Amino acid sequence: MKNKYNINHVAIIMDGNGRWAQQRGHKRTFGHEHGVEAVHSVVEGAGEMYIPYLTLYAFSTENWNRPKEEIDVLMRLISKAIADELDNLMANNVRVLTTGRIEELPRESREDLERVIETTRNNTGLTLVIALSYSGRSELVDTAKKIAKQAADGLLNPDDISESTIQNNLYHPEIPDVDLMIRTGGDLRVSNFLLWEIAYAELFFSPILWPDFRKEHLREILEQFTSRERRFGKTGEQVRAH
Ligand code: IPE
Ligand code: IPE
Ligand code: MG
């Protein structure tokens, strides 16, 4: 743990772009464009606060059901925004990863993302994980397939399957569990994000619409996080004893 908050991994459901734009009489995509400024600020803030891992929910598997025009704008915007940030990410020592069914993205988006992943791979500061065409259930389906193949190939006895077997076959087994999950935009739900990884996460919901969210808001939530007692099934007395 490298920070005073005792946090390894923060995950954010960046919600509220559409409503932000509509409140201003614009199309929903205007909100996505302005969401990029919030991403910039939060990534910078997470680095400054020595958070090791930050996962941002950028596009869910369910988001493929949105109007084609909105999907097209989002795809272009996400990969372009990340590519435009490359110098900044290098200057801030940020390593970029993606999680999700990346093969489902348009080729140009995949290529932009690949370039950023490759260029930032040896950076040692914040690891920024972008969840794209991601859902918790589809990750668990893909995990189950990998495990079933190992069993079918005789490499694994089904009786030996444990929680670590599942952990070790996730998209990124090396990434620690989420300590803190934040959702902006005022809705109180998880929307199929990181279902396995949030088992013991502390949940925070902010009414702020994503384009207005800044690193100061993140800092405030991190401060509040430190006053939560994480008991992991034990009693408060047990937890406070050491
Ligand atoms: C989050 O904002 C961005 C994505 C889901 C890609 P929304 O587009 O969901 O905005 P609201 O929730 O409709 O306001
Ligand atoms: C969750 O937001 C997905 C992302 C932020 C990428 P949604 O706006 O898609 O979630 P629902 O549909 O309101 O649950
Ligand atoms: Mg939404």
Ligand of minimum distance to the alpha carbon of 28: 1
Is residue 196 assigned to a domain?
yes
Ligand 3 ion: residues within 5 Å (CB): 15
Q: Where residue 127 sits, what CATH number does that domain have? A: 3.40.1180.10
Q: Which domain holds residue 113?
A: 9-137+176-241
Is residue 217 assigned to a domain?
yes
The pLDDT value given to residue 242? 77
Is residue 75 assigned to a domain?
yes
Is residue 131 assigned to a domain?
yes
| 185 Cβ below 6 A of ligand 1 | yes
The pLDDT value given to residue 1? 59
Pocket probe mutation, ligand 2, options 59, 135, 191, max atoms within 8 Å of Cβ: 191
The pLDDT value given to residue 168? 98
Q: What DSSP letter does each residue of the chain carry, written as one string? A: --STT--SEEEEE---HHHHHHHTT--HHHHHHHHHHHHHHHHHHHHHTT-SEEEEEEEEGGGGGS-HHHHHHHHHHHHHHHHHTHHHHHHTT-EEEEES-GGGS-HHHHHHHHHHHHHHTT--SPEEEEEEEE-HHHHHHHHHHHHHHHHHTTSS-GGG--HHHHHHTSS-TTSPPPSEEEE-SS----TT-STTTTTT-EEEE--S-GGG--HHHHHHHHHHHTTS---TTS-HHHHHT-
Is residue 192 assigned to a domain?
yes
The structural domain count of the chain equals 1
Q: Ligand 2 centroid to 60 CA: how many Å?
A: 7
Ligand of minimum distance to the alpha carbon of 60: 2
Is residue 70 assigned to a domain?
yes
Closest atom of ligand 2 relative to the 57 alpha carbon: 6
Q: Is 84 a catalytic residue?
A: no
What is the value of pTM for the model shown? 0.98
Nearest residue (CA) to ligand 2, atom 1? 191
The pLDDT value given to residue 2? 79
pLDDT in tens, the chain (242 residues): 579 999 999 999 999 999 999 999 999 999 999 999 999 999 999 999 999 999 999 999 999 999 999 999 999 999 899 999 999 999 999 999 999 999 999 999 999 999 999 999 999 999 999 999 999 999 999 999 999 999 999 999 999 999 999 999 999 999 999 999 999 999 999 999 999 999 999 999 999 999 999 999 999 999 999 999 999 999 999 999 97
Is residue 117 assigned to a domain?
yes
Is residue 159 assigned to a domain?
no
